A = this chain, B = another copy of it.
């Protein structure tokens, strides 16, 4: 490929800096195997921490730390199990996930 449009080389300075802060923050949340694994597992329905820790081969406090990040970002919610309240079941906030997807779209679209 050869760039053809600017026949005379005049690098356009003063181009607007693109606003990618939201997309970068969103990507940062996905750029970890445990957080990405959590979001992937929760796409199929709620899971408790011990289930996810076992499936991901990670310690529970590590998973808990990452869940705190996702919770702070509003991507997941927790609620105790009806019959056995020891277990915290997490579920995705699909609306927040959609917003995150949209912010990535501003870069990739």
Contacts and interface: CB of A to CB of B under 8 A. Distances in A.
Interface in A83-109: 83-84, 86-87, 89, 91, 97, 100-101, 104, 106-109
Interface in A6-41: 6-9, 11-18, 20-21, 23-24, 26-33, 36-37, 39-41
Contacts of A89: 3
A2 B26 CA distance: 27
Interface of A: 1-9, 11-18, 20-21, 23-24, 26-33, 36-37, 39-41, 43, 45-48, 50-51, 54-57, 77, 79-84, 86-87, 89, 91, 97, 100-101, 104, 106-109
Nearest 9 A-B pairs (CB), nearest first? A9-B84, A27-B30, A15-B55, A27-B31, A20-B36, A3-B89, A18-B40, A28-B31, A31-B31
